[in-house]
Amino acid sequence: MDRRKRWTAVRVLVAGGTLCYGALLGRAVTVSGDSGPGKGGVNVGAATQFSLAGKRPTDPADLANYVKNRAAAIRLGKALFWDQQAGGDGVQACASCHFNAGADTRLKNSVNPHNATFTKGPNATLVAADFPFHLLSDVNNRASAVVRDTDDISGSQGVFLRTFVQIGFGSPASDTCTSVPDATFNVGGTNVRRVTGRNAPTNINAAFNFRNFWDGRAREVFNGVDPHGADTVGAVIFRTVGGVPTPVSVLIANSSAASQAVGPPNNGTEMSCDGRSFPLLGRKMMNLIPLNGQTVSPTDGVLGGLANPTGTGLNATYVGMIQDAFQNDLWNGGVTQMENNFSLYWGLSIQLYEDTLTSDNAPIDQFAAGNAAALSASAQRGLGVFTGKGRCSTCHSGPLFTAAVAVGGRSFSNTGVRPVADDAGGILEGNGRFKVPTLRNVELTGPYFHNGGQATLAQVVDFYNRGADFAGGFTDGNVRPLGLTSVEKADLVNFMLSLTDNRVRTRQAPFDSPSLCVPDDGLSDGVTNAICIPAVGAAGGAPAAAFQP
């Protein structure tokens, strides 16, 4: 029945134009079993609001004051993002927690105990039966008996607890550090890698975010040094004036991704021994072959031209890549100036790389462009539930499925995932309000929510259908028992599966990358007990998988 109705719609498109097409298609889909109060028909018109085609993040207006060659800056940003040598252990790159569709699907040693104790102990492996973290006897009834509940967080494992002594250039490029007994992350007194206190969102499309992080703490204005924008007093970079590197303070608008990117590198949980500075990280990286030891495909969409003929690393230096990318007065005063400006190069170049990671060719985009076959009948009905009875698009609106992207846009809500006391969320909003995340590629970015407490999209839909787990006075009114049928739930899941850009799945350019090995055990040195992904070129390779406990 659905197929026949869609045929009708397509014929009308040819004869009568987009408007009729949308209207008829909507009626066809509504007839085929969807129901729900207050919901209009499902049609292409309802989909066009979600099309990302042709949209890009907004550049800082004064970008040219900093960057003289955008392509060179993107090369630098991509190399830095994937380079394991940036880690204090010579293992931990940005990409280590953002390697699968920009997110992290590891199962072992992924738990942060939040308060007090681990439910399963340190260095445990998550299995399907651990999800959801708040399990009810009736998934459709939030008042039903609680079978189990944990405030643990499914996060990302980073580095061992150590204090920084000095940078190191060996292989791996491990810094000299002093091990510190870790009261939380240890097994029988032996430290294991530390785990973040929130789940890692994808960095794909993150350059659109007005503010980054679940709590929005990565400011929209980049001060060149740290994530805190204008709040940091005395943040300076150096410009050469009359041959002399001279401190200047900068506030670069539309640069939350840059503010974000300068957070992790010297963080004692995520990437570094505690206490390393950006100038020292700069000194380290500028003395190393970029991506040394990692394979770079000669057809990599960005780095292919620099791929070393030996197969690993780049045939380039970070010094040269910085000089190619950035305005001369930001580096021509010498090595010390380059070290002191390394946070600026790091932030802006990674932002410009992430700006290329725009996934604008998912089935939803194709459907919005008029390809009725791009969404299954079920996904089309799911679109109707998403924008109607499910109330999803009241928060997950627009091409990124969040309004937290527009300039000046602040879209944070309390959806009752955890008690407010567990995590207050937004630094301005508080009261358990978290940034509304994008749903693009959500199929591949589990586990879900800031606590990583749901393993599947079906579990997320059950969560919304019962009106959340910890609904309270601050919970948004659109989160309430929905009364969805099992068909409507399945349709909603199918709709969300239509938000995956196949280039993200198969790691085609711009989502291609050098090879990478990530620790898959709290004791891993990054070589043994590691998950390794091969280098892929622009044509892509083995597909990224969904989170599979």
Contacting positions for ligand HEC (CB under 6 A): 81, 92, 94, 96-98, 155-156, 158, 196, 198, 200-201, 203, 206, 209, 212-215, 257, 260-261, 264-265, 270-271, 350, 390-392, 394-396, 413, 415, 417, 434, 436-437, 439, 442, 445, 448-450, 457, 460-461, 464, 476, 478-479, 492
Based on CB atoms, which residue is closest to ligand HEC, 245 or 437?
437
Based on CB atoms, which residue is closest to ligand HEC, 278 or 434?
434
Based on CB atoms, which residue is closest to ligand HEC, 6 or 396?
396
Based on CB atoms, which residue is closest to ligand HEC, 209 or 223?
209
Query: Minimal CA–CA distance to 297: which of 540, 543, 542, 505?
Result: 540
Task: Check: CB of residue 153 under 8 Å from CB of residue 131.
Answer: no
Q: Tell me the residue type at 441.
A: N
Minimum CB separation of residue 499 from ligand HEC in Å reads 10
Based on CB atoms, which residue is closest to ligand HEC, 124 or 497?
497
Query: Minimal CA–CA distance to 173: which of 528, 526, 501?
Result: 526
Task: Check: CB of residue 255 under 8 Å from CB of residue 220.
Answer: yes
SS3 17: coil
Minimum CB separation of residue 371 from ligand HEC in Å reads 23
Minimum CB separation of residue 27 from ligand HEC in Å reads 23
Query: Minimal CA–CA distance to 443: which of 526, 544, 300, 304?
Result: 544
What percentage of the chain's residues is helix, strand, coil (to nearest 5)? Answer: 30, 15, 55
Minimum CB separation of residue 72 from ligand HEC in Å reads 18
Find the residue with minimal CB distance to ligand HEC.
94
Minimum CB separation of residue 15 from ligand HEC in Å reads 35
Which tokens belong to 301?
Answer: 């969409």
Based on CB atoms, which residue is closest to ligand HEC, 122 or 201?
201
Query: Minimal CA–CA distance to 273: which of 142, 182, 394, 145?
Result: 182
Minimum CB separation of residue 54 from ligand HEC in Å reads 22
Minimum CB separation of residue 350 from ligand HEC in Å reads 5
SS (H, E, C) 339-384: HHCHHHHHHHHHHHHHHHCCCCCCHHHHHHCCCHHHCCHHHHHHHH
Task: Check: CB of residue 72 under 8 Å from CB of residue 352.
Answer: no
Minimum CB separation of residue 382 from ligand HEC in Å reads 9
Q: What are phi and psi of 444, to 5 degrees?
A: -105, 0
SS3 52: coil
CA 96/CA 378 separation, integer angstroms: 35
Minimum CB separation of residue 11 from ligand HEC in Å reads 32
Based on CB atoms, which residue is closest to ligand HEC, 95 or 296?
95
DSSP string, 194-261: -B-SSPPPP-TTGGG-SSBSTT--B-SSB-SSSTTGGGSTT--EEEEETTEEEEE---BSS-HHHHHH
Query: Minimal CA–CA distance to 322: which of 32, 3, 38, 79?
Result: 79
Task: Check: CB of residue 139 under 8 Å from CB of residue 542.
Answer: no
| Cα distances (Å, whole numbers) of residue 337 to 216, 247, 419 | 30, 10, 47
Which tokens belong to 198?
Answer: 């929130």
Minimum CB separation of residue 510 from ligand HEC in Å reads 15
Minimum CB separation of residue 450 from ligand HEC in Å reads 4
Q: Tell me the residue type at 237.
A: I
Based on CB atoms, which residue is closest to ligand HEC, 92 or 297?
92
| DSSP β-ladder status, 153-154 and 111-112 | antiparallel
If phi over 0 gives left and psi between -120 and 50 gives alpha, with beta otherwise, what is residue 81? Answer: alpha
Task: Check: CB of residue 499 under 8 Å from CB of residue 444.
Answer: no
Based on CB atoms, which residue is closest to ligand HEC, 364 or 461?
461
Based on CB atoms, which residue is closest to ligand HEC, 92 or 380?
92
Based on CB atoms, which residue is closest to ligand HEC, 260 or 356?
260
Minimum CB separation of residue 461 from ligand HEC in Å reads 6
Based on CB atoms, which residue is closest to ligand HEC, 5 or 396?
396
Based on CB atoms, which residue is closest to ligand HEC, 151 or 476?
476
Burial group, residue 394, by CB count within 10 angstroms (0-12, 13-18, 19+): middle
Query: Minimal CA–CA distance to 204: which of 413, 83, 88, 361?
Result: 361
Minimum CB separation of residue 504 from ligand HEC in Å reads 14
